[in-house]
């Protein structure tokens, strides 16, 4: 357990940041799942709308350090491929 005042403060900050990061990560995953659900349902219009909403959320997670840039690019690329290949 943290003993010094500064260590206790750091522990409080770390916990607050962990919770914020978890919330952001969950938010991005939800956006991605919405795109995947629309793709599975075969609804191209809904998939395109969900993809347009997901891309800024993914980019925001990169800028906040929640997700690595390459992982974000991979998600965007694969989601876009699936949406574009829909009939």
* pTM (two decimals): 0.87
Q: In terms of C-beta density within 10 A (0-12 exposed, 13-18 middle, 19 or more buried), how is residue 62 classed? A: middle
User: Per residue in 15-65, pLDDT tens?
Assistant: 999 999 999 999 999 999 999 999 999 999 999 999 999 999 999 999 999
**Where are the domains positioned within the chain?**
5-84
Q: Which of 41, 37, 34, 85 is nearest to 55 (CA)?
A: 34
Residues whose CB falls within 8 Å of the CB of residue 8, separated by 6 or more in sequence, listed in order:
2
Any idea how long the chain is? 87
Candidate CATH numbers 3.40.50.1820, 1.20.58.110, 1.10.1060.10, 1.20.810.10; the one for domain 5-84: 1.20.58.110
């Amino acid at each position: 357990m943290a003993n010094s005042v500064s260590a206790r403060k750091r522990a409080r900050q770390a916990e607050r940041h962990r919770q914020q990061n978890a919330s952001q990560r969950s938010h991005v995953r939800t956006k991605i799942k919405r795109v995947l659900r629309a793709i599975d349902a075969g609804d191209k219009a809904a998939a395109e709308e969900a993809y347009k909403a997901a891309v800024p959320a993914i980019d925001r997670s990169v800028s906040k350090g929640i997700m690595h840039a390459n992982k974000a690019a991979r998600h965007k690329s694969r989601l876009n491929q699936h949406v574009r290949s829909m009939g």
